[in-house]
């Protein structure tokens, strides 16, 4: 967004609150948007300062002086596209000290956080000034409008969860109080059931908090002496946390190993291996395969899906596509057709990627999957993106670019997952650079696309979190510096 577009955005936001607001163009005497004097109120002014690399108070001071000398406003509000940092507070104090408050009042500036909040309250302005600038298109805007009610509700819930606490926002506060009371009364069995009910209610909405509740349920079950139940609950947490790449997976698996009976302990060992393979592939992967073979021998469908999925992920990371093909193939045969997302779908996708990586024909297999009910569901765009990545890996540039575009369109129609649109667009750019096919982005477009953020917890969000956890800014700098030497 350039300075002019930023001024337009500020004007739109001011006018939403003050319909009499008018926008001025240079020379504007230090004001971009004003609400004219009316009744006993003097003119009020908003100055959009498109400072992107830190607030320049000297520039604000010059604008304030010009405004006071030329138009004598009652109040001036400065608007910045970034947040105030600790070292910059002094500049605001000094600015306010320039004039007595009855001469001109320097209102609390609007920072990035204020803008975000105001944009949330004004979706039409966001659509016109942010989304359209990013070329998200009329169709997308229409689709967003259609879904607005449900998305707004979810957004409000997430905001309320942050402000009031998630359990109150999701209507679980009373049950939590009952569970805590049961703990105080020494009725740990009842507490465990109540905590688990809360976890069940929150699994889809906020899996991290659901896991925290399931941990409390497990602890209460252990207190009640119900070790199998406690072990099972810890395994549930480990499974759920592993799906998000959360380090809680290893802790929960470790706790389970203390509680499960000897004959069931392989489950906790496999869960530990699932959490540990990225750091310790040797040994962990064999343990995952052993868990898969054990479930296959027993005909345990859920176990086959769970451990084949985990083993394939770890083997793929090692580049052992031969074994991925073998395990995914046998698991698929035992489990039957894919009917829903989850481990079963992951296995199918790994099977197709294994075909691609080992020089087999994978296109028909991917095509069939996109035509199946699961391919036409909300998970369709991810299947197209996987297909596209396989096409790119096998040197089919034009087809890959086209497929990434199908994935981006799918995410766009689904809504709430702008991060995934960004990843698909950036991936098409990679293909364009490598193969000369598809849309190539310029630097400003790369920045705009990279900043797209949606409302859902998408794989991009999870990956970013794990990347941040695994490679802090300091480490990244050190690596880059080392590489440059």
Partner 1 sequence: MTVSWSIHRRAGHLAGALRLAEDLQRLFAAAEDPEQELVWALRTGFAQTARKAAGAVAWPDVLARLRPDGPP
Residues interacting with partner 1, by CB under 8 A? 245, 278-279, 313, 316-317, 319, 321, 346, 349, 356-359, 382-389, 392-395, 400, 404, 407, 420, 423-424, 426-427, 429-431, 458-460, 462-464, 466-467, 470-471, 475-476, 478-480, 482-483
Closer residue to partner 1 in complex, CB, 67/400: 400
Distance of alpha carbon 394 from alpha carbon 390, whole angstroms:
6
Minimum separation from the CB atom of position 157 to partner 1 (A): 25
Minimum separation from the CB atom of position 392 to partner 1 (A): 5
Minimum separation from the CB atom of position 58 to partner 1 (A): 38
Minimum separation from the CB atom of position 427 to partner 1 (A): 4
Positive or negative, the CA dihedral 258, 263, 268, 269 is positive
Closer residue to partner 1 in complex, CB, 158/341: 341
CB 225 within 8 A of CB 214: no
User: Which CA distances in Å does 98 have to 28, 47, 59, 66, 94?
Assistant: 21, 17, 14, 13, 7
Closer residue to partner 1 in complex, CB, 164/464: 464
Distance of alpha carbon 121 from alpha carbon 124, whole angstroms:
9
Closer residue to partner 1 in complex, CB, 313/418: 313
Closer residue to partner 1 in complex, CB, 62/317: 317
CB half-sphere exposure, 212, CA atoms < 13 A: 7
- The DSSP code sequence of 247-300 is THHHHHHHHHHHHS-GGGHHHHHHHHHHHHTTT-HHHHHHHHHHHHHHHHHHT-
Neighbours of 154 (CB within 10 A): 15
Closer residue to partner 1 in complex, CB, 44/244: 244
Closer residue to partner 1 in complex, CB, 232/459: 459
Q: Give strand pairing partners of 45.
A: 34, 76
Minimum separation from the CB atom of position 386 to partner 1 (A): 4
DSSP state of 88: G
Closest CA to 288 of 269, 264, 301: 269
SS3 34: strand
Distance of alpha carbon 340 from alpha carbon 332, whole angstroms:
13
Minimum separation from the CB atom of position 311 to partner 1 (A): 13
CB 382 within 8 A of CB 348: no
Minimum separation from the CB atom of position 466 to partner 1 (A): 4
Minimum separation from the CB atom of position 238 to partner 1 (A): 14
Minimum separation from the CB atom of position 401 to partner 1 (A): 11
Minimum separation from the CB atom of position 326 to partner 1 (A): 15
Distance of alpha carbon 107 from alpha carbon 166, whole angstroms:
33
User: Which CA distances in Å does 128 have to 14, 132, 155, 477?
Assistant: 15, 5, 19, 38
Report residue 149 CA to chain centroid gap.
21
What angle separates helix 227-243 from helix 248-259, to the nearest 10 degrees?
A: 160
Closer residue to partner 1 in complex, CB, 229/384: 384
Closer residue to partner 1 in complex, CB, 371/478: 478
SS3 23: strand
Closer residue to partner 1 in complex, CB, 120/471: 471
Closer residue to partner 1 in complex, CB, 301/459: 459
Distance of alpha carbon 291 from alpha carbon 75, whole angstroms:
69
Closest CA to 222 of 243, 252, 250, 247: 252
Distance of alpha carbon 291 from alpha carbon 272, whole angstroms:
12
Distance of alpha carbon 115 from alpha carbon 125, whole angstroms:
11
Report residue 235 CA to chain centroid gap.
25
Closer residue to partner 1 in complex, CB, 8/429: 429
Minimum separation from the CB atom of position 202 to partner 1 (A): 22
Minimum separation from the CB atom of position 226 to partner 1 (A): 32
């Amino acid at each position: 967004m350039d300075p002019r577009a930023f001024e337009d955005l500020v004007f739109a936001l001011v006018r939403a609150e003050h319909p009499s607001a008018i926008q001025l163009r240079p020379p504007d005497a230090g004001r971009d948007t004003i609400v004219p004097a009316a009744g006993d109120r003097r003119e009020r002014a908003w100055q959009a300062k498109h400072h992107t690399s830190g607030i320049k108070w000297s520039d604000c001071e010059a604008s304030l002086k010009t405004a006071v000398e030329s138009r004598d406003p009652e109040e001036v509000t400065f608007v910045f596209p970034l947040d105030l940092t600790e070292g910059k507070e002094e500049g605001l104090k000094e600015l306010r000290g320039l004039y007595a408050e009855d001469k001109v009042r320097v209102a609390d500036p609007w920072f990035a956080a204020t803008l975000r909040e105001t944009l949330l309250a004004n979706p039409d302005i966001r659509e016109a000034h942010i989304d359209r600038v990013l070329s998200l298109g009329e169709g997308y805007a229409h689709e967003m409008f259609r879904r607005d009610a449900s998305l707004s509700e979810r957004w409000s819930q997430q905001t309320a969860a942050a402000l009031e606490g998630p359990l109150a926002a999701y209507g679980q506060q009373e049950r939590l109080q009952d569970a805590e009371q049961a703990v105080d009364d020494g009725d740990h069995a009842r507490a465990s059931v109540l905590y688990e009910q809360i976890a069940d209610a929150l699994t889809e909405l906020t899996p991290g908090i659901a896991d925290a509740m399931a941990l409390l349920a497990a602890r209460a079950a252990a207190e009640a002496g119900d070790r199998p139940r406690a072990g099972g609950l810890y395994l549930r947490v480990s499974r759920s946390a592993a799906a998000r790449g959360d380090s809680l997976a290893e802790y929960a698996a470790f706790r389970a190993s203390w509680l499960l009976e000897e004959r069931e302990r392989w489950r906790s060992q496999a869960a530990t291996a699932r959490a540990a393979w990225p750091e310790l592939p040797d040994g962990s992967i064999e343990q995952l395969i052993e868990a898969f073979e054990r479930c296959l021998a027993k005909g345990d469908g859920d176990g086959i899906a769970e451990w084949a999925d985990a083993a394939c992920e770890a083997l793929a990371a090692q580049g052992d596509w031969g074994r991925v093909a073998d395990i995914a193939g046998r698991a698929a045969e035992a489990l039957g057709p894919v009917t829903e997302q989850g481990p079963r779908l992951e296995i199918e996708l790994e099977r197709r990627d294994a075909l691609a990586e080992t020089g087999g024909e994978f296109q028909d297999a991917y095509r069939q999957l996109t035509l199946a009910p699961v391919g036409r569901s909300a998970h369709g765009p991810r299947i197209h993106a996987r297909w596209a990545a396989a096409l790119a890996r096998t040197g089919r540039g034009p087809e890959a670019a086209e497929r990434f575009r199908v994935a981006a369109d799918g995410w766009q129609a689904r809504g709430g997952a702008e991060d995934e649109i960004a990843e698909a667009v950036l991936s098409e750019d990679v293909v364009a650079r490598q193969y000369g096919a598809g849309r190539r982005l310029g630097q400003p477009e790369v920045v705009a696309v990279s900043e797209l953020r949606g409302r859902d917890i998408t794989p991009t969000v999870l990956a970013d979190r794990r990347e941040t956890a695994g490679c802090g800014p300091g480490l990244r700098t050190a690596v880059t510096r080392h590489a440059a030497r």
